[in-house]
Chains A and B, each alone.
Chain A
Amino acid sequence: KAGVTQTPRYLIKTRGQQVTLSCSPISGHRSVSWYQQTPGQGLQFLFEYFSETQRNKGNFPGRFSGRQFSNSRSEMNVSTLELGDSALYLCASSSEGPNQPQHFGDGTRLSIL
């Protein structure tokens, strides 16, 4: 069974730009969660999608948004990028939600110049 696939692996952007990250979950998994990982803040929850609906959201500004498609693939978008958005963005999938083991992708390393 293929694991969670995130693209791209690395991204360099400048302040003010926007970016879209993609996540393909494990086949059959309907829950996709996104996390931001930084050395100072650890793993911070962004949002969780289940069957195309956002079920939970973390404490991030509205510049961070996401969506999930009917095939469970998910995208997250960050608009008006700031230097502080530089981080590793991790996607995790599970069959039903956060009460089950989360399977993480390798992440997208986003650097803002």
Chain B
Amino acid sequence: GAVVSQHPSRVICKSGTSVKIECRSLDFQATTMFWYRQFPKQSLMLMATSNEGSKATYEQGVEKDKFLINHASLTLSTLTVTSAHPEDSSFYICSAREAYGNTEAFFGQGTRLTVV
């Protein structure tokens, strides 16, 4: 299957700082990338959908000014957690699809964020 690389895999930051997470599709062009968050023993919750060259679509309850998404190219999307707080500590995971429609989504390895 296609490869999606997510970086960093693990980050610890101080409260109030910002953290950027990168998601790259390595061998295909991803027109759409999804950002999810997963708390322990819970499922993946969709945060937002990013389409290359346009604004991200955020799910209800997700603050767009706090979770900044940029999808500037067909192979890279970034999620920036601004002014992080301990409650933002979670597992963040991206996925990418090659084309519009009903194709399989491939997942990055995830980023475990701990805010202290």
Do chains A and B stick together as partners? no
B residues contacting A by CB (< 8 A) are none
